[in-house]
Every structure is written in structure tokens, then in C-alpha cells.
Amino acid sequence: MPVNVRSVLCAIALLLAPACSEENAPGPQSFPPLSYSYLTHLYLNVAKIEIEDDWTPSEDDVSWLSPARPLDALRRMAQDRLVAAGTSSRAVFKIQDASLRKGESVLSAHAAVELDIYTDSGTRVGFAEARAARTTTYSPEDSSDAALRPLLYQLTKGLMDDMNVEFEYQVRHNLKEWLQQPSEPAGAVPPPVQAQPLQNPGM
């Protein structure tokens, strides 16, 4: 029987199609954890540093979808950058906003924090506030969760780049009398910051 060359080529193409599709398929996405230990440490003349989270996400918040949530990134910023270098008083790092919102073709990110200094008797003697915001757009065709995840990751990363700059500026400007400048050994790691989430009213 004569060989139908066209049929043979079609059969080969069908056999190779799955292999080609697997070869060209995108690999698993990688989202490295956000860390800020490489940035300048801010030494405060206090005995301890606490983190309080009094932020409640709105109904349109999509932080849960992001590989790096702003809330976690803000906590990491405080833990990585703030160092208690005194023997009395305390600093409280308050997270007031850590939102990611999804609108029509727009993703928005907002962050707001406050750093308060309290004496041992509980009197607030200084504070600094910092805010940052960013937006990015997406097409309706790319509105699936899988498509939005890398966009939300990059949006959070950019938001935290802005926040780190703004936070350091505000601390140096408003809490300069509480800052210390000790020599920092190479590879030094700041002591852990205590996390103390606020309880919801009525609990």
C-alpha cells in the first residue's frame, strides 16, 4: 500500500504536540519572601519594641491572594529594622493599614504605620507616622487569581520599597532624640521584636 506522507506527518505532529506544550509551558512561579535586614538598622533608646496590629481588612481586600501580604511585610520591616538599644521605656509599632484592593482594571496597595514611644509610666513622649500607596493596572483577560498573584507580589514589593524610605525619614525627623548611633558589627542581627496583636473590642 502506498504510504500517505501527509497522514504520517500529521500523526507525528500529534505525537509531538504534548511534548512541545509541556516544554513551552511556564515553570512554577517563585515569590521570594520579602526581607529588610540588609537595610540600615534604627537603634532606639528603649528597652523593648512591640508590634500592634489594629487594622481590619475591608470586604474588597485581596491581601489573601498575594504571595506577600503587606501586613506580613510591615511586621517584617519592624522586626528587621528596629532595634531596642536602651534600658527603659518602650516603642510600639502600630500597623494601621495594610490593604490590597481590587477594582475594575486597577489594583491598589496602601500602608500606614505609627511608631510611638512610651515611658515606663505609660506616658507617650514621641511618635512618627508613615504612609505609602501604589497602584497598578491589569487587563480583564488577566483577572484570574493565578494571573493576579505576580501583580500583587510586585505591587506589595514596590509599596514596601516606598514605605521603608518614608518610615526611616519620619523616624529620623520626628524621633531623632530617641535614636542612637552605636557601631554595628558586621553581620549583626537585631534582637527579635515582640509581636502583640490587639484584641478585637468585646473579646
Spell out the per-residue pLDDT of the chain, length 203, in tens: 454 545 544 444 444 444 444 444 444 578 999 999 999 999 999 999 999 998 999 988 999 999 999 999 999 999 999 999 999 999 999 999 999 999 989 999 999 999 999 999 999 999 999 999 999 999 988 889 999 999 999 999 999 999 999 999 999 999 999 999 865 544 555 555 655 554 444 44
The CA distance from 9 to 21, in Å, is 18
SS3 34: coil
The CA distance from 55 to 50, in Å, is 16
Task: Report pTM.
Answer: 0.77
pLDDT at 141: 82
Cell 542581627 belongs to residue: 189
Cβ 76 vs Cβ 167: under 8 Å? no
SS3 70: helix
pLDDT at 64: 94
pLDDT at 100: 98
Distance of CA 91 to the CA centre of its chain: 21
pLDDT at 45: 97
What are the boundaries of each domain within the chain?
42-195
pLDDT at 133: 98
Helix (H) / strand (E) containing 9: helix 5-24
CA distances from 155 to 46, 188, 198 (A): 33, 30, 27
pLDDT at 1: 46
pLDDT at 85: 96
